[in-house]
Amino acid sequence: MPLNKNAFASLIHAVIDIGSNSVRLVIYRVVNGAFFPIHNEKVLAGLGENVSETGKLSADGAILALGAIKRFKILLDAWRIRSYDAIATAAVRYASDGNQFIDAIRRNTGLHVRIISGEDEGRLSALGVLYGSVHAHGFMGDLGGSSLELAALDKDQNLPKESWPLGPLAMGELSAAKILSKTHDATLEIINKYLRQSKVLQSANTKEFHLVGGAWRTLAIVHMTIRNYPIHILQNYSISGQDALEITTFLASQSRKSIEKIPGISARRAETLPYASLLLKSIIECAGVEQLIFSAYGLREGVLFERFSAKSSFANPLMASALAVGAKTKMEKEFSVAMNIWLQNIVNFATENLGLELDEELLLAACYLANIGKDLHPDHRARLAYDLVLQGPYPSASHEERLYLARIIAIRYGAKADELAQYPHSNMLDENRIFHANLIGSAMRLASAICAGEGSFVEKRLKTLAEILGKQVEVQ
């Protein structure tokens, strides 16, 4: 893969997201189309509190939000950041005084805020989901404070996108955890009234559902806790439709106090989780969802993607991120490309003689990450590099792919099979993936010795690779 001369240019871009519950500032480092948050903060202003009853923004919330945005502008000026997007969503969109609030922001800070439509919010959230999972299909839902956006996942953006007033703030008292058991039927009737009108649920492939939003991410955390799931990464965490029905039925019937006892659940999330569970259960039943995939990427990443039109990154954000994280210097970039070329001989041999099918894109991503442990303590390098790769900010990578890449890099740094077997995630890869990772990791370890001219290490590592391939070594 040739390196474009502009492939490693980076810039700083900020997104200010004015939502119904919170106002948030996220500052990103943008490298080769990959987005890395370097500053992330929010203020729980509650702009959308009671907007469904009064038709206006919360007065107290507007004061809090404006104060936060003033401070955000001071931060942007201090960091000399001129590249930004500022967007306002459902609460400002619904409120009769929404435009006045945006004018006040402009007068006080000079920031230009765009009020996005419900359809546009769905479109941008869908772009964010596709950035985080390029092979995603089906449809996505983004549950915010005041609205639920639904969109069919379509890279050409031709399928339906829509917004419904089904956020907890829009539902008012009907969504309150303390009385949901009493208002269950009335709440469900309103939910189903809107879902029955949804063109997305009628026209999209609804077997696969991608979920965005804090309340639904909290549900995923609960599910992980119940399963004792060893990888604490929400992006691309997946559960079956049947499992989702079971946990949503359970959570929708729980009190706030009961939910607060679950580790990792805040009091604020405990208040909205029963309603979010009831809404999700209704969507699953209405659409016949078979698989649910949780996304940490949504509206803000969609805004970024549209801003930078990173078409190559859309094709493979995993590759863009691995390149940005693992190959930061000119020497590392050239080494990664050279290693990938050298490994093709091993790949060709394994394909022709062992019938293996190795993923070329994952192989290149592994090469970009090959030097990620160079600055780590040598006594702990393999395990630390394993954790760095497993937990890294790689959009689009499934949990299995993360484990596969982590195993390759751990072996590249000398980890042994019996050591890897002790890791809590070791049983999550099948035998084929383990063999592939062992092969590539050992080949990379050999390549690094050849490049460094490490004498006797070359023969030793060559023998290790030969054993995996079932061959004998003859050094001349």
Q: Where are the domains of the chain?
A: 10-115, 119-301, 316-469
Mean pLDDT over the full length of the chain: 89
pLDDT at position 74: 98
Tell me the average pLDDT across 277-285.
97
Quickly tell me which residue has 């160079």 as its tokens: 374
What percentage of the chain reaches a pLDDT higher than 70?
A: 92
**CA–CA separation, 170 and 268 (whole Å):** 16
pLDDT of 122 > 50? The answer is yes
pLDDT score recorded for residue 290: 96
**Mean pLDDT calculated for residue range 105-109:** 98
pLDDT given at position 214: 93
Tokens of 139: 């449809």
β-pairing, 291-294 vs 208-212, is: parallel
Q: Which long-range contacts (CB under 8 A, 24 or more apart) does 383-389 make?
A: 383/410, 383/415, 383/419, 385/409, 385/410, 385/412, 385/413, 386/410, 386/415, 386/423
The DSSP H or E segment spanning 42 is strand 34-43
**Which stretches of 193-347 are assigned E, i.e. beta strand?**
208-212, 237-240, 291-294
The pLDDT of residue 65 is: 98
Q: Look at residue 405 and tell me whether its pLDDT is greater than 70.
A: yes
> How large is the average pLDDT for residues 218-236?
94
**Distance from C-alpha of 230 to C-alpha of 225, rounded to nearest angstrom:** 9
Lowest mean pLDDT segment, chosen from 134-138, 305-309, 431-435, 452-456: 452-456
Fill in the amino acid letter for 245: L
pLDDT above 60 for 312? no
pLDDT grade, residue 404 (50/70/90)?
Answer: very high
Give the other-Cβ count within 10 Å of 352's Cβ.
9
Does residue 190 carry a pLDDT above 50?
yes
With respect to CATH, is domain 119-301 assigned 3.90.550.10?
no
pLDDT digits (tens, 9 = 90+) for 19-69: 999 999 999 998 877 889 999 999 999 999 989 889 999 999 999 999 999
Residue 7, pLDDT score: 47
CA 339 from centre of chain: 29
| Contact yes or no for 470/349 (Cβ under 8 A) | no
**DSSP designation for 159:** S
pLDDT tens for each residue of 136-186: 999 999 999 999 999 999 766 677 899 999 999 988 877 776 667 777 889
Q: pLDDT at position 4, please?
A: 45
pLDDT band at 6 (very low <50, low <70, confident <90, very high): very low
pTM across the whole model:
0.89
Choose among 409, 365, 417, 421: nearest CA to 384. 409
CATH number for the 10-115 domain, one of 3.40.50.1100, 3.40.50.720, 3.50.50.60, 3.30.420.40? 3.30.420.40
Same fold, 10-115 and 119-301: yes
| CATH 1.10.3210.10 given to domain 316-469 | yes
Give the residue-averaged pLDDT of 304-321: 74
pLDDT at residue 157 in the model? 65
Residue 377's pLDDT is: 92
Q: Which residue has the higher pLDDT, 256 or 179?
A: 256
Model confidence pLDDT, tens digit, residues 314-359: 567 888 889 888 888 888 888 898 999 999 888 888 878 777 777 8
- Does residue 459 surpass a pLDDT of 80? no
Question: How far, CA to CA in Å, does 289 sit from each of 219, 281, 431?
Answer: 17, 10, 30
More confident residue, 458 or 321: 321
Give me the pLDDT at residue 5, please.
Answer: 42
Q: Is the pLDDT of residue 1 over 50?
A: no
Residues 358-379 have pLDDT tens digits of: 788 899 999 999 999 988 998 9
Q: Please state, in angstroms and rounded to a whole number, the distance separating the CA atoms of residues 174 and 185.
A: 10
